[in-house]
Chain A
Amino acid sequence: MKHVNTVVKSCLHKEGKIGCGECNSSCQSACKTSCTVGNQSCARREERVNTKKESK
């Protein structure tokens, strides 16, 4: 019997690279007093995580 269903495989520390650093600054979005970063998308992706199309 399978007890574990993996929803998402690893997404961090890919190949040990730290990235290009072109990401949107989180304070440029809706965050002005409570910092959130994990919900930002990579600036090099065309898609956005917060669109209806993307979430489906």
Chain B
Amino acid sequence: MVHCFTYTHEGKPLFFAWDVESGSLHNVDEAAFLVCKNKFGELTDEERQKFDAVSDVEKREIEEELFKLESEGLLNTPETRVDLPFSGEIKAMCLHICHDCNLRCSYCFAKDGTYNTPRDYMSFEVGKAALDFLFENSGNRHNLEVDFFGGEPLMNFDNVKKIVAYGKEKAKSIGKDIKFTLTTNGVLLNDAAIEYLNAEMDNVVISIDGRKEVHDKLRVSPNGKGSYDVALKNAKKFRAVRGDKRYYIRGTFTQNNLDFSVDALTLNDEGFDQISLEPVVLPDESPLAIHESDLEKVYEEYDKLSEEYIKRRKGEKWFNFFHFMIDLKNGPCVAKRLTGCGAGKEYVAVTPTGDIYPCHQFAGGDGKYYMGNVLSGTFDRNIQKTFAGINVYSKEECNKCPAKYYCSGGCAANSYNFNKDLKKPYGLSCKMMRRRLEDSLAIYCIEHGGND
């Protein structure tokens, strides 16, 4: 499969041919783009007119170059399928340390942090049992990962600390490496929490949506007061001590701020250099939902952000945008690319009562994919096998998609929530993913240039 696309940089068009199966990226001139697209895709009427105007001599030259690339395995490479054996090993866990929150964000998929359950806090005993479950099921995996998630994890900070201490000691005793991550809204991020998280967490994710007026409209306390000022102040203090260690300022954009490039750049202006902004995922009837009819605007914003991104990365305002990150030379292995986040297969979520779900997004849902409980020692291997069977190969729509090795078939929870089918991707996310990927590839080319 060859995907031909264009990108406008500093007002001028750039043309690309991307060999999906090998991962080779070619920056081509307009004539070669037209020949490529005629050969491997479908020309628009306007492109057909331009193609017809390319001389036969030039077309032959291009065909020769393309033939050479094909013979070198850099273009139109056939698909190579690999086996994906099921080991049953689990390597990552989301710990719902707290089903409660000090904010009432309008778009929260976790229903104010409760996941449709009574407000609850994970005890040390449940946390310990969850980690024991992870260790016991980790098989030959060396690197294990645990994410503290909520609700708001800092509302149960004492148990976070106890569970981390237990996990690190146990990992050391059995010769494994365990890394912890915590996702917070930043409101309780005081000096003591900053010092602790900076020392103990491999990654810290702080939720801020960008501009104050955007953030404060949705991320409010139970009495309706916006949380921007306190979250920003605390996040800045955390950033000041974090140095080069991992962190993200992570926001959500909604129907309220389809001009989200401004929000990403606002976060950068505030001094942050690791930024992620994700499209909200809500049912169509929600006033905050993003619709198909918004896609052109969303694409425009990604393109606008990418151009400013390229400029800023040359100077003092360098920043990393999560969805433009791409590692074209040493990215993840094929297994990872085919199976994605590993939800339900090698990654599970555990609630305050010890219940196990394929990931945080399945907790509090219809219960169809309830997998067991860490206290009772139950775990449904059949559900694990079902999730192990969800990969790029098993999703019909993904097989035809140029982004398949970069999004790995998308989010299983979104597929289930929107289509009631784990193997049918959520189409709106797919379209945004493809555009972000094209932008990422163009950014890579512009920043790295030249031949491989």
A30 & B326 in contact (Cβ 8 Å cutoff)? no
**How far is it, in angstroms, between the C-alpha of A29 and the C-alpha of B429 when the chains are bound?**
18
Please give me the residue from chain A that is nearest to B247 by CB atom: A30
Q: Find A29's partner among B248, B273, B408 (CB 8 Å cutoff).
A: B248
B25 & A42 in contact (Cβ 8 Å cutoff)? no
**How far is it, in angstroms, between the C-alpha of A7 and the C-alpha of B189 when the chains are bound?**
43
Chain B residues closer than 8 Å to A5, beta-carbon distance = 26-28, 450-451
**How far is it, in angstroms, between the C-alpha of A21 and the C-alpha of B65 when the chains are bound?**
36
Q: A-facing mask of B326-360, CB < 8 A → 1, else 0?
A: 11111111111100111100110000000000011
B336 & A11 in contact (Cβ 8 Å cutoff)? no
If over half of A's interface residues share one DSSP class (helix, strand or loop), that class is named, otherwise mixed; here it is loop
A8-B328, A30-B322 are known contacts. Are A50 and B274 too (CB-CB below 8 A)? Answer: yes
If over half of B's interface residues share one DSSP class (helix, strand or loop), that class is named, otherwise mixed; here it is mixed
Chain A residues closer than 8 Å to B141, beta-carbon distance = 21-22
Using C-beta atoms within 8 Å of the partner chain, give the interface range for chain B. Answer: 35 or more
A3 & B62 in contact (Cβ 8 Å cutoff)? yes
Chain B residues closer than 8 Å to A48, beta-carbon distance = 246
Closest 6 CB pairs of A and B: A19-B333, A38-B406, A10-B22, A30-B276, A39-B325, A3-B32
Q: Known pairs A2-B65, A49-B327; list 15 more (Cβ under 8 Å).
A: A3-B31, A5-B27, A6-B74, A10-B77, A27-B341, A28-B147, A29-B205, A29-B322, A33-B411, A34-B281, A34-B323, A37-B340, A38-B332, A38-B337, A41-B331
B145 & A28 in contact (Cβ 8 Å cutoff)? yes
B452 & A35 in contact (Cβ 8 Å cutoff)? no
Chain B residues closer than 8 Å to A39, beta-carbon distance = 322-327, 331, 406, 440
A7-B444, A12-B337 are known contacts. Are A40 and B181 too (CB-CB below 8 A)? Answer: no
